[in-house]
Structure 1
């Protein structure tokens, strides 16, 4: 018997409805596929549409101490010029950054690096075994004394230094940190009243690719701490330029050992009140060894060049601050003098203060020997030199070494942890 309704072959009304619904579904699916294909084609051809500015996602703030290239530093952060109309003076590749969890055992130190003279001393630094984990430039990393309103002399000095192949090789091999002295500050012997100090600070931070920690006219001092408890090294970089009062000049009749003489004036300052308060806070932070960098000498007597002794009340304030805060393990480093030497003194509590002056890296000359005074432990070395701070955590001692252009030892002193108050 046949099926009179036609359901068997689908020719009835119900079959036609099912075919119509199926066609609608298939057609819709084809439209979806075709639409996706068209969109993909257009996206490939013209790229993604830009989000309207008001809907753009706000970018996360960059970390302040990340190592960046000069291009990132200025374009990525919006700092397109270091001074009006002056592009970055930084080297084209970033300075290396030392992991602050690192236990320090060898630190290199140098000052007074002329950008227009050969720099063979870097070969002597790099052939050391072991090589310094960190190198500290502690003043006069360029000679760019400013004579023009646009600071073009200092700008050019940094550009020339950035192009030096010897320095480029050194900075690709080890991390650097830096502090300025007078010639990268912008004027010989200049202090806090120097009108170009803001421009000089901007150029300094740019060249070394450092983010300023405060308005640049207020000083560039900073501190870094490396290592963990029991082997923690604090490095304090003092700014002896930005807030410093004028030194007292000698009469023209006597300048053989320098142009300045001590003056006990309580109104004159070496660091300025804000930096003194900051330093007291740093001394209260935990550290086993504290390396304090002052571009000019702290302990030296017997000369009238730039030194803390020109403001004896300020120098005594420094000694008192170490004593009163209970800071231990203090080592002093200085440059500026175009000669190297070692010095030692005692605090009121009996703690030893040792100072190494290291200068210069490539601008040596033979200044007159300072008058020999009790705090100087060595002769003065006038040839090119750099310094090493070797920390022996097992033997509980620190060696301060002066090295010549080939990396050979000129002289050195050893200071026991116990003498620095570390092992009391």
Structure 2
């Protein structure tokens, strides 16, 4: 009996040590979260959220009104899979207008602990009740994330990722990504595997995650997230990149089966998200009626939608510069016949409140095109976020349309604010560099665009 007791006591003492030693050799399982969560579109009755895992997993989101732990609601549950790049679109449809919500990401039924706020909001039901609420939103384009082995040799093309931390600190209601939101490379252009890998690589940038998790996100594309540099309607894999775009973004609608054209509202403003690649003729084609940029089908929808819209400001969002008259690079001026057709149609239909928001050029600048007998057309170019900056050409800043003092040749982003009573809405534009220093500010009243 004595010997048995000694053996038992020895086992009880040694066994925990063995367990500790064994656990020290066992690696901790990597987190199943690849990127996100991201807040997508917002409306009064529903909000779309998004997340990506790195392996098959059950994903869901629990949410509740801010400051109230109960009642809590659940989105649909999604089983992520490799075909869809392990992405999940999660619909929060038990919400009320004009509320703020906090949420938790659940993977395999377990809460994922995140070191930053996760929140979203629904839009306000202000019509026939009050003046529209004030709001502010962020704008940026050209996000290059370096990857050793696939980048071009030499100085890294991307950098300054802390700009997303600076941007998130502004706490915008939403963010508009105006194209080149990822940069596909030679290793990506010819395969679905490559395209999905590139989208995943960019979306996984750690500095980007807090912004994605707390500001609503809307996007269009330009050449680099669509295909190769300067790509047009001839790109052979555009159906694959469109699928990737829809997997990785959470826009509210797509007007056509092909392309990323869409629209959304925020209070009294409407945003028209245009696709400048899917229908685009080659740049080198001779200008004329057959040289499409947006193409007849997209242009007709745009003009119909602008005519119908009662928005105070009608923001047309697209990748390349529209107002800049310099016939260089991929500016709309290179497609002069279609450009004049669009401008004439806006004038003839007496459509008020139109402004353009663009990207692409790796510098920020404001152009203002004066038009006889009607209001001027503004084009706000905001670029780049993390790609290498490129200065405007001398001939561009000599154009009559250039608004003096608005050229920024550093990495930067824009914060646009809309405020004031419905009959006197004010748009304020501020441009900040990657460290958060304000570079310039301008006001435009809706009454000036009548």
TM-score by length of 2: 0.68
Question: Matches of 2:46 and 2:185 in 1, distance apart?
Answer: 29
Deviation at 1:314, TM superposition (A): 1.1
Match of 2:322 in 1: 298
Match of 1:418 in 2: 447
Contact 2:51-2:87 within 8 A present in 1 as well? no
Match of 1:108 in 2: 138
Alignment pair present for 1:244 and 2:271:
no
Question: Matches of 1:309 and 1:269 in 2, distance apart?
Answer: 12
Task: Give the root-mean-square deviation of aligned CA atoms.
Answer: 3.0
Report the more deviating stretch, 317-326 or 96-105. Answer: 96-105
Match of 1:55 in 2: none
Question: Matches of 1:199 and 1:288 in 2, distance apart?
Answer: 36
Contact 1:89-1:158 within 8 A present in 2 as well? no
Q: 5+ residue gaps in structure 2?
A: 1-44, 53-57, 61-75, 91-103, 107-117, 126-132, 147-158
Match of 2:198 in 1: 157
Contact 1:136-1:176 within 8 A present in 2 as well? yes
Q: CA 1:64 to 1:308, structure 2 compared with 1: closer, same or farther past 3 Å?
A: farther
Deviation at 1:271, TM superposition (A): 1.2
Alignment pair present for 1:280 and 2:280:
no
Deviation at 1:88, TM superposition (A): 3.7
Match of 1:190 in 2: 231
Contact 2:176-2:218 within 8 A present in 1 as well? yes
TM-score by length of 1: 0.71
Question: Matches of 1:76 and 1:411 in 2, distance apart?
Answer: 45
Match of 2:269 in 1: 233
Q: Which of 43, 67, 70 lines up with 2:49 in the alignment?
A: 67
Report the more deviating stretch, 314-323 or 107-116. Answer: 314-323
Quick check: which has more Rg, 1 or 2?
Answer: 1
Question: Matches of 1:211 and 1:123 in 2, distance apart?
Answer: 26
What does residue range 308-327 of structure 1 map to in structure 2 within 5 Å?
A: 308-327=332-351
Question: Matches of 2:316 and 2:392 in 1, distance apart?
Answer: 27
Alignment pair present for 1:355 and 2:379:
yes
Q: Which of 357, 367, 373 lines up with 1:343 in the alignment?
A: 367
Q: How many residues align?
A: 336
Deviation at 1:237, TM superposition (A): 0.6
Contact 1:123-1:406 within 8 A present in 2 as well? no
Match of 2:420 in 1: 393
Q: CA 1:133 to 1:234, structure 2 compared with 1: closer, same or farther past 3 Å?
A: same
Post-superposition CA distance 1:199-230 (Å, at most 9, x none): 001101101134763564x2110000122xxx
Match of 2:18 in 1: none
Q: 5+ residue gaps in structure 1?
A: 1-62, 250-262
Match of 1:19 in 2: none
Q: Which of 387, 404, 407 lines up with 2:433 in the alignment?
A: 404
Match of 2:179 in 1: 139
Contact 1:82-1:203 within 8 A present in 2 as well? no
SS in 2 for 1:178: strand
